[in-house]
Structure 1
Amino acid sequence: MDDPTGHRPAPYPDFEGYVRARRQALLRRAERLVPNPQDAQDLLQLALLRTFHQWDRISNKANPDAYVQQVLNSVRTDHWRGGGWWDVPTADPPDGTVADFAPGHAEHESLRTLVSGLPQRRRQVVFMRYWLGMNAAEIAAALGIAPATVRSTLFQTLLRLRAELERRESAAAQSASPTRLTNRAS
C-alpha cells in the first residue's frame, strides 16, 4: 500500500528478512554461476556478506536482487581471476596447519578392499563387530551360530587381515626403496 507521499514501502526493510525470503532464489542464481553446489553456497555467503556491509547504501530496497546479482557476478569474477572467495581476511587467523588426510584415506581404502574380498560370513562378523559394535553373543544370535564360532572366526579373520596388510606394506616399502646398481667388472 502506498503512503501519502506516493512512495511504496520497501518489502525488505531489514537484511535478515530479505535473506530469509530470497535465500533459495539467490542460491539458484549462484548455482548457475559455478558448477559445484558447495562453491555456490560459498559464493552466496560471501555475496551476502558484502551485501550486508552495504545494505544501508542500497537505494532500491524494493528490489535488492539486482544488487545481489551484481555482487554474485563480481565475487565469481574475482574467483575466476584467482582471488578465491574463501580468502576473507579475519581479525584472528586460525592457528596451525590442516592435516593431510590422504595417507589415512589410502589406508582406509586398502582395508576396505581387503574386507570386501573376505568370504561373506567373515565379512558379516567383522562388520557387525567393528562397524555396528555388536558383541559375540549378539553376532551369534543375528547369524544363528555359536558365540565361540563368532570369536574364532573373528580371531582367524583378523590374523589374516593383519598378515595381508603387513605383506602389502613391506611390498610397498620395497618398491619405494631405491635399488643400488653395481658396476660389475667382466
Structure 2
Amino acid sequence: MNATRHEEFREYVAARGPVLLRMAMQLTGERAEAEDLLQAALAKTYLAWDRINDRSAVDGYVRRAMVNTQISWWRRRKLEVYPTDELPDRPVDDHSQRSELHDALGRALERLPARQRLAVMLRYYEDMSENEIAEVLGVSVGTVKSTVSRAMAKLRDDAGLGDQFPGIPSSDY
C-alpha cells in the first residue's frame, strides 16, 4: 500500500507540478524561492496524503500549504529596523573594492597556462589536498607542488596581486 501511495503522489506531482510552480512564482516572484516553496508544500502534502480523501481537492490543499508556508517565511524574514537620530561611527563596507579585486584575480587566473590554472583552482577553490590533486591530474605530488608554486608566483607578479591579495599565500610550498 505504501508503494501505491508513493506512486500515486509521484504521478500527481508529475502532472500538476508545472501549474503549481507557476502559482509559487506568483507568490514569491523568484524562481529559486518558488521551487523551495513548492517543495515545502509538496512535502507537507505528502505527509497528509492518506488524509486527503477527495483527490480532486489536492490542488487546493497544496495551494493552501504554499500560502501558509509563504506567510510563515514572510514573518520569519521580517526586518527589524530601529530608526535612530545618530549615525554609526564605523563606515559602511564598500564592496566595490572587493569586486574589483575579484575581477583582477579572475583575469590573472585566465592568463595562467591551463595546467597551472587547474592546479590552483583545485587547490584553493575546491580545497583539495596535494595528494587528491595528484590523483585527479595523474601526476606526482611533487609535480603538483611545483605547478602550484609556479602558478602562485605568476599570480603574485601579475599586476602586483601579491600586494592586493594578502590571502594568496607567498610560500605555501
Give the TM-score taking structure 1 as reference length.
0.47
1:168 corresponds to which residue? 164
CA RMSD of aligned residues (A): 3.6
Per the TM alignment, residue 40 of structure 1 is displaced from its structure 2 partner at its CA by 0.9
Distance 2:153 2:48 in 1: 66
Percent identity over the alignment is 31
- Three-state SS of the structure 1 residue aligned to 2:60 is helix
- Three-state SS of the structure 1 residue aligned to 2:29 is coil
> For residue 164 of structure 1, what is the amino acid of its counterpart?
G
> For residue 42 of structure 1, what is the amino acid of its counterpart?
D
1:61 corresponds to which residue? 55
Give the direction of change, closer, same or farther, for the CA distance of 1:157–1:68 in structure 2 (3 Å limit).
same
Give the direction of change, closer, same or farther, for the CA distance of 1:155–1:110 in structure 2 (3 Å limit).
closer
Distance 1:108 1:127 in 2: 24
Bigger RCO (CA 8 Å, 6+ sep): 2
Distance 1:24 1:17 in 2: 13
Largest Rg, 1 or 2: 1
Give the direction of change, closer, same or farther, for the CA distance of 1:59–1:108 in structure 2 (3 Å limit).
same
Per the TM alignment, residue 109 of structure 1 is displaced from its structure 2 partner at its CA by 6.5
Aligned pair partner of 1:110 in 101, 115, 123: 101
Give the direction of change, closer, same or farther, for the CA distance of 1:21–1:110 in structure 2 (3 Å limit).
same
Give the direction of change, closer, same or farther, for the CA distance of 1:54–1:164 in structure 2 (3 Å limit).
same
Structure with bigger helix share is: 2
Aligned pair partner of 2:20 in 26, 31, 37: 26
Mean Cα displacement is larger for which, 58-67 or 34-43? 58-67
2:138 corresponds to which residue? none
Question: Tell me, which stretches of 5 or more residues in structure 2 are unaligned?
Answer: 1-6, 79-96, 120-150, 167-173
Tell me the alpha carbon deviations over residues 68-87 of structure 1, each in whole angstroms, 9 at most, x when there is no partner. Answer: 11111011011111179xxx
Give the TM-score taking structure 2 as reference length.
0.50
Moved over 2 A (4+): 106-112, 127-133, 154-159, 165-170
Distance 2:110 2:77 in 1: 48
- 2:11 matched to 1:17? yes
Q: How many pairs align?
A: 111
2:114 corresponds to which residue? 128
> For residue 116 of structure 2, what is the amino acid of its counterpart?
Y
Distance 1:115 1:54 in 2: 49
Per the TM alignment, residue 107 of structure 1 is displaced from its structure 2 partner at its CA by 8.0
Question: Tell me, which stretches of 5 or more residues in structure 1 are unaligned?
Answer: 1-12, 85-105, 134-153, 171-186
Tell me the alpha carbon deviations over residues 39-61 of structure 1, each in whole angstroms, 9 at most, x when there is no partner. Answer: 11111111011111111222320
Give the direction of change, closer, same or farther, for the CA distance of 1:29–1:127 in structure 2 (3 Å limit).
farther
